[in-house]
Structure 1
Amino acid sequence: MDTVFFDLDGTLTDPKIGITGSIQYALGKMGLPVPTQDELTWCIGPPLRASFVALLGGEDADRGVELYRERFGTIGLFENTLYPGIADTLTAVTAPGRRLFVATSKPHVFADRIIDHFGLRKYFTRVFGSELDGTRVDKSDLLRYALDETAADPARAIMIGDRKHDIIGAANNGIPGIGVLYGYGGREELTSAGARHLVASPAEIPGYIN
């Protein structure tokens, strides 16, 4: 493979505390019942506004996103941990003539800060994320843009992610997908979405990239 796209949340890092804590903050500010963090893990991975639509309905979703970012942009994005072995995995995947990219529905203004915070910049040619206004929040749109920007051959690329959005977005652009079981999607979700391979740990990823 010449081009490897990595999802961020649930694939490179475990963002549970920061994401769910910021959703709790937003709901609390709106005077609404606040679920536990475990009850909000389904929000990790899908586009944020879509999660707030599911939680609040369309009319209040934008306000929910605004309040979420109020906390996430200063505190929540650092309430995050690298999955064990990720640095070793990225080192193993790195090879002459191969480019690694981040492809996340998270706004790139946040994703870039997270990549720098964990010292991962040296592995990635570029971080692709959405805009704050929601442009390219859909993984299909994001990966189409990334392919155009990088002039990558989708037949020589692969997408690695933990949710169906990663696998489906890749397939819609002719890119095969590897599903990671240590994130937030699970075996059934990733298999149904069409993942070519499933891995239980970051250490298994290099074996499927040739």
Structure 2
Amino acid sequence: MIALFDLDGTLTDPKVGITRSIQYALERLHRPVLEADSLTWMIGPPLIDGFTRLLGGPEDAPEAVRLYRERYSEVGLFENEVYPGIPNLLDRLKGQGIRLLVATSKPHVYARRIVEHFGLLPSFAAVYGSELDNRNADKRDLIRHILDLEGFEPRDAIMIGDREHDAIGARANGLTPIGVTWGYGSREELLKAGVARLVDTPAALEAPIRELIGSTPLRAAGA
């Protein structure tokens, strides 16, 4: 039994660190610096895609990512907090013999530092993320990579996340997705992407995880 967890917007709330680092990159590029609340749509998707959209094209996106990481790698990754109820949930799931993995589009060199910093690392068998050259930033590629390395059957696993990318990546690889509503994706976004369940609190996650692991991938919620 395997449960893959997204990081940003699912295990932790990274708004402050991510938005301040985006603002830093915009300032260094001499672009208008937007308010934090207007940048939260960039939390979750691959960073290069977000900057390409934000800057109106791909020309300056690689440099924006470099500048973002200049701040994020030293300061921003710790401007973050664990959602209430997550540590207890992870302890209960691990105690039931469920193998827990982190699956994030964030580079794994940052993701592991975050998970370790906030005391969550003992709950996870492994932390998977993208590479700094953007390999595996797409959740479809990342989950395929995890399947290749871990060797489990897709039907024995679920993917838990707050954005459509988590659900799309899961379904592309035969996993059942659960959407959580305390992050940065809307209920409409998650339902459209095909989540099997929508969950509103960490405490409410345990039951659908236990129900769905090992089941044939179900129809999307509301389908």
Q: Which TM bucket (shorter chain)?
A: over 0.9
Distance 1:209 1:67 in 2: 38
For 2:41, the aligned partner's letter is: W
2:184 is paired with a residue of what secondary structure?
A: coil
Distance 1:98 1:55 in 2: 39
Distance 1:91 1:186 in 2: 27
- Kindly report the root-mean-square deviation, in angstroms, between the aligned alpha carbons of the 2 structures: 0.7
Deviation at 1:152, TM superposition (A): 1.1
Distance 2:147 2:60 in 1: 34
Alpha-carbon displacement from aligned partner over 1:146-166 (angstroms, at most 9, x marks no partner): 011111111010000000000
Query: Which residue of structure 2 lines up, in the alignment, with residue 66 of structure 1?
Result: 66
Alpha-carbon displacement from aligned partner over 1:160-199 (angstroms, at most 9, x marks no partner): 0000000000000000000000000010000000000001
- What is the TM-score of this pair, normalised by structure 1? 0.98
For 1:91, the aligned partner's letter is: D
Distance 1:117 1:55 in 2: 30
Deviation at 1:38, TM superposition (A): 0.1
- How do 1:145-184 residues align onto structure 2 when only pairs under 5 Å count? 145-184=145-184
1:34 is paired with a residue of what secondary structure?
A: coil
Aligned residues: 209
- What is the TM-score of this pair, normalised by structure 2? 0.92
Query: Which residue of structure 2 lines up, in the alignment, with residue 94 of structure 1?
Result: 94
Distance 1:49 1:87 in 2: 30
Distance 1:165 1:101 in 2: 17
Structure 1 runs of 4+ aligned residues shifted over 6 Å read none
- How do 1:22-171 residues align onto structure 2 when only pairs under 5 Å count? 22-56=21-55, 57-171=57-171
Alpha-carbon displacement from aligned partner over 1:17-71 (angstroms, at most 9, x marks no partner): 0001000000001111011000000000000000000011201000000000000
2:190 is paired with a residue of what secondary structure?
A: helix
1:145 is paired with a residue of what secondary structure?
A: helix
Distance 2:204 2:94 in 1: 15
For 1:180, the aligned partner's letter is: V
2:39 is paired with a residue of what secondary structure?
A: helix
1:9 is paired with a residue of what secondary structure?
A: coil
Deviation at 1:94, TM superposition (A): 1.3
Deviation at 1:97, TM superposition (A): 4.1
Deviation at 1:91, TM superposition (A): 1.1
Deviation at 1:96, TM superposition (A): 5.0
Structure 2: where are the runs of 5+ without partners?
211-223
Deviation at 1:98, TM superposition (A): 2.4
Query: Which residue of structure 1 lines up, in the alignment, with residue 19 of structure 2?
Result: 20
2:132 is paired with a residue of what secondary structure?
A: coil
For 1:35, the aligned partner's letter is: L
Structure 1: where are the runs of 5+ without partners?
none
Distance 1:93 1:168 in 2: 24
2:35 is paired with a residue of what secondary structure?
A: coil
Distance 1:96 1:203 in 2: 15
Query: Which residue of structure 2 lines up, in the alignment, with residue 206 of structure 1?
Result: 206
Distance 2:114 2:20 in 1: 17
